[in-house]
Structure 1
Amino acid sequence: MNVFKQLFKSLYSPKDIASYRNQGIGKTILYVFLLSLISVLPSVFYMNGALKEAVQMASESLNELPEFTIENGQLHSEAKEPLTIQEGSFSIIFDPTGAMDSSTVSEMGDGIALLKNEIVLSAGGGINTAAYSMLGNEPISKQDLSELLASSHSALPIIISLLAGTVFLVNSALKFIEVSVLALFGLLLKNILARPLQYRHVWRMAAYSVTLPTLFFTVMDLLKTPVPYGFVLNWTIALIVLLLAIQEIPQKDKPSLA
């Protein structure tokens, strides 16, 4: 059975999830990467649109900002307080004072912010930051940034690809951690239910048990719909699915060596 059929069956069939416990570990790892890829699609989609809009808006609005330089990893300007330029639903924030941080920017919706020590892109509820120190030691002026933005349109596909790759790798690491922790809870459940399972079997089942909450929250992210108590809901659904899958295993079933 291919991974896409497994994905579909994992949405509703604990019995099928239980049957995956003896498959090769490589296929299960591939499945976790597939779930990670699916879960980052909304973030990448909104990040792509926001980054393109940010470059366009920044190019048009840069003249409205005070003179500044970026030097030694910090933003320097004579401005004494933060400045916000609002264009529709998109915001450009300029704050050389250090009064704002990335969490403050995220509360303001989609936008780009030049903060004291970093540049921040907020898109689709996600935050991406880049420290000025990554730009090197050479001072960058407002004019330099204007010229950089003018030439950045051709480099956007590369930039977006790099950001998307980074988001995917981070999300994959978190997904593997989630599956591994869920499998530890699964060991407790299998002991309570007296099912003859080893950690490797439970880990495989845990990987498929997170399918339903992963796809649910992916759809919610795509619709930009916040889910109250999302963390608790995610773990509750995954644990219930794993519990139902463990119950599908006969108590006298001998675990395979595969």
Structure 2
Amino acid sequence: MNVFMQLWRSLYSPKDIARFRFQKIGKAILYVFLLALISSLPLAYHLSTNFIDGIRYMGSLFENEIPSFTIENGGLRSSATQPVIINEHGLTIIFDSTGQVTKEKVERATNAIGLLKHEAVIVTNGQAQYYSYTMFSNMKLTDRDVRSFLETLQSLLPVLIPLTFLFLYIFTSASKFIGVSVLAFIGLILRSTLDKNITYRHTWVMSAYSVTLSTVFFAIMETLQTAVPYPAFLHWFVSITVLFLAIKEIPSVKTHD
């Protein structure tokens, strides 16, 4: 049975998962790498798309919306006489070289970037971080420098995106292997409870296939950008349930009078 048929059977058949326990451990390891790939692709796609769109948007913003400016000697200077406030895509951008906008006003936004008179404020999900311009005390930063940096970043995207996916895939693979190994230990407890004659190698292989349903479900939800409540609890509940049903399909140890 090829790996894709095993993937399909693992979605609905605990009996087949029980039969997979006899296969070589190497095949199960490759299967976990496949599940890691399935988990990584939707997230990598959305991260890459958002990153590309974000760079393009910021480039357009500094080209057309934000006035020319200079940051030096700990202060923001420009020819603007009024603050520039932009609200788009759930993000508030405030440019103020006049000193009229306070950091407290920027903090009220859920997601915001504030280039204020003496500091930059970045708010992410209501959490604010501050960056004083004094860190540029020995240098001069202009809007041209920012646009040049964004252009350089955009030219590096063909390299940055594959590297991002690689790191994401490695992290996801490591998480999958750790999760499967923990689930396999839980399988040993289930083995004792159900009186089945299987080893840790068997429970590890079965655990690799038992996480299939949860992995595919969350990959679909990530693709659709749909939030799932209590994802960790749901993942472990489904995986343990599938593993329990698979172990239950194994013939019990026979006792002799």
Q: Structure 1-normalised TM-score?
A: 0.73
Contact persistence 1:21–1:201 (CA under 8 A)? yes
Q: Which amino acid in the other structure matches residue 149 of structure 1?
A: L
Contact persistence 2:70–2:140 (CA under 8 A)? no
36-45 vs 204-213, which moves further: 36-45
1:94 equivalent in structure 2? 113
Contact persistence 1:190–1:196 (CA under 8 A)? yes
1:4 equivalent in structure 2? 4
Contact persistence 1:17–1:245 (CA under 8 A)? yes
**Distance in 2 separating the partners of 1:197 and 1:226:** 37
The yes-or-no answer on 1:57 pairing with 2:76 is no
1:247 equivalent in structure 2? 248
1:194 equivalent in structure 2? 195
Number of residues of Structure 1 aligned to a counterpart in Structure 2: 217
**Distance in 1 separating the partners of 2:247 and 2:156:** 50
2:174 equivalent in structure 1? 173
Q: Which runs of 5+ in 1 are unaligned?
A: 70-75, 106-112, 118-137, 254-258
**Distance in 1 separating the partners of 2:201 and 2:71:** 56
**Distance in 2 separating the partners of 1:152 and 1:15:** 51
Structure 1, residues 129-172: CA drift from partner, whole Å, max 9, x if none?
xxxxxxxxx97834333112223333212111111111111111
2:157 equivalent in structure 1? 156
2:227 equivalent in structure 1? 226
Tell me how far 1:67 sits from its aligned partner.
Answer: 4.4
Tell me how far 1:205 sits from its aligned partner.
Answer: 0.3
Structure 1, residues 210-247: CA drift from partner, whole Å, max 9, x if none?
00011111111111111112211111110110001001
2:42 equivalent in structure 1? 42
Aligned-partner SS, 1:94: strand
Contact persistence 2:92–2:113 (CA under 8 A)? no
**Which has the higher Rg, Structure 1 or Structure 2?**
2
224-233 vs 241-250, which moves further: 224-233
2:18 equivalent in structure 1? 18
Q: Which amino acid in the other structure matches residue 172 of structure 1?
A: S
Change in Cα spacing, 1:210 to 1:85, as seen in structure 2 (3 Å) is: farther
Tell me how far 1:90 sits from its aligned partner.
Answer: 5.9
1:125 equivalent in structure 2? none
52-61 vs 150-159, which moves further: 150-159
Contact persistence 2:113–2:123 (CA under 8 A)? no
2:107 equivalent in structure 1? none
The yes-or-no answer on 1:213 pairing with 2:214 is yes
Contact persistence 1:94–1:114 (CA under 8 A)? no
Aligned-partner SS, 1:159: helix
Aligned-partner SS, 1:152: helix
Tell me how far 1:114 sits from its aligned partner.
Answer: 9.1
**Distance in 2 separating the partners of 1:26 and 1:140:** 57
**Distance in 2 separating the partners of 1:33 and 1:115:** 40
Contact persistence 2:113–2:122 (CA under 8 A)? no
Identity %: 40
Change in Cα spacing, 1:193 to 1:44, as seen in structure 2 (3 Å) is: same
Tell me how far 1:29 sits from its aligned partner.
Answer: 0.8
CA RMSD of aligned residues (A): 3.1
Q: Structure 2-normalised TM-score?
A: 0.74
The residue correspondences of 1:82-161 to structure 2 (distance < 5 A) are 85-88=86-89, 93-94=112-113, 104=126, 116=131, 141-142=141-142, 143-161=144-162
Structure 1, residues 48-74: CA drift from partner, whole Å, max 9, x if none?
2111111111111236286458xxxxx
